Structure 1
Amino acid sequence: MADPEAEVLRSTFPSYMAEGERLYLCGEFAKAAQSFSNALHLQTGDKNCLVARSKCYLKMGDLGNSLKDAEASLQGDPTFCKGILQKAETLYTMGDFEFALVFYHRGYKLRPDREFKVGIQKAQEAINNSVGNLIRGTIRSGVTVEDLILTGINYLDTRSSFWQQQKPIYARERDRKLMRDRWLRDRGRTPAQTAHYVLKSLEDIDMLLSSGSAESSLQKAEKVLKKVLDWGRDEVPNRDELLGSLHSCIGNAQLELGHTVAALQSHRRDLEIAQEHNLPDAKSRALDNIGRVFARIGKFQQAIDTWEEKIPLAKTALEKTWLLHEIGRCYLELDQALQAQYYGERSLQYAEEEGDVEWQLNASVLVAQAQGLG
């Protein structure tokens, strides 16, 4: 006859945990996983038990369930270091080395011990071995894979400074190209002296802003705007488009100077001109900039609404990558993890289509952060 006290003892949470740990050490991983499952029936969601079962699944090669348990252990506490380490280990085993590196770094920041340090080293080595010279040749000069991932991780601690940065280099180059292309095409219809003045002025305005001289850039743009307003349409066939471009330049400089209300007005004027004269590229540029002003001042839903209006106007995979990434960041600000992850995954898709490793990593970090908040 079974001893009732022994049956009760075997059915307690601590006894199932002890049994599972003993079986795990003996290499009986399937039986250990069952013991931990029994324990979870008694204490649903226990994070230490979930990590223990995740380790069993990892040893068994059941990577999907291993990752599921590791993520479940972080549901109530995204700073739970055992869960972060187990998720990183599972991701590493799955071959998702960039994601693994994100979580090794996250854990090391919370608890700088040897396990996380070793994880960082092995994930970094795996990334280097898997893509080698491709990453070093694609990432912008002086910036490593680890730099990009750390920047993304630190974003959660420095949210305000993220939106203080200048527009990405790609976006600035696109704006300048939009401003110059029509003038280069229409030089035959515009007096040579005028065309030269405009092109040189636009380059100077952008150069001043890029070099950190926002005040000088603003003064130059306002001076050129005043001059163009004195010209007639007969003298300058694409005068309206030029006016829109100059309002855009003024808005960019105003934003860098912290004059957000004035910047919003300038970019809205650019948008009005674009809509009035059916200039889709200029409209795309204006929406881009308006969204950035909203993000800078913390109006993230308005930034999202503006950038979503721009999505159909985005022409290249790289532009879509950057745009979707920014929308995802805004959703992260609003603590809407599922939406942030959705846009991060879309950004990653376009980055892979473009073959841009830097943006693949940026998007991967965003997805990982969204999962951590979810």
Structure 2
Amino acid sequence: YPPLTECFSVFTSQALQLQAGNKHCLVARSMCYLKLGDTENSLRDAEASLQNDKTFSKGLYQKAETLYTMGDFEFALVYYHRGHRLRPELQKFRLGIQKAQEAIDNSVGSPSSVKLENKGDLCFLSRQAEVLKQKLQVKAPKKDQKQQSKVGPIRNEKTERQLLGELYADKAYLEKLLKDADLIKSSTKHGMTVEDLILGGINYLDTRTEFWQQQKPIYARVRDRKLMQQRWLPERKRKPSEVARYILKSMEEIDMLLTSSCPEGSCKKAEHVLKTIQGWSEDEIPNKNELIGNLYSCIGNAQIEMGQMGAALQSHKMDLEIARENDLPDAVSRALDNIGRVYARIGKFQQAIDTYVTVITLQVREQI
């Protein structure tokens, strides 16, 4: 709900009028701007929060997050590293370094792919020239773009479907329209051809796919599951047990079924895993309650996709109850966000607004 975020932006602006230059308020307003999609003002406030204190960790993190959202992955990586050097105990900087590095590698390739020799080897420069040439091809003349779009980039269909989600069907429909020779020759009242409109839509979806893959590559999800697995294990250095492998594999299957438009299968799998681990002791599964809450969240999301809003509301409320009992702020925000989504779907807009206000309040407090 952007209007709610705008309200918090106004509140922080008023607070800054009372106490000009307050770095905590600047970070809070920067966060609001970022949620509204106003990256320019978000970056301005983040930089202002660092004006008098270059070691302000919240300001460094907010600037890094804004740069990352803007697609400036290299500069974002610099500020994630600066924050990590100052506050190495904060996990958010480590995760920021990982996601920025993955986005860079996914864009231009891993540095390990470049091999330099001692005798004036210019392979590195040649590779950079090739990368630059590929980027410039995006700005090729319309004729070349049309020809390229008709052929279509070589993609993994399964990966593209996961990245685009509901938009995948729209892209398939546009590609089907492109095969209608009579249709693409027609023009709009503004003089644009239907072919240009269709190609523009396809090129936009291709661009979004590439960005989303840079921002959150599919393989990164496996890494995230492994990080969660390490939290569940008492000793991080020991080999994963049979229990941990079962949990990791099950969570991947639940996520894959949901993203593959099979909410029924995802729900059944999550319910089965939930029933199984409820019979295990906390010695076998550290952070057992956190995992149970996560499974209730998965079940609730699947029920939303199936249209079972009443059941989904109960599942997400169970997630919220477990999160509060175990003092898990991230899980509390997740559960409240899902509850607000259910309220909005069933038309209880005031309750949805109240829920989202609570979510944003918690996020702002955490930033301050």
- Flag the structure with larger Rg: 1
TMscore range, shorter length: 0.3 to 0.5
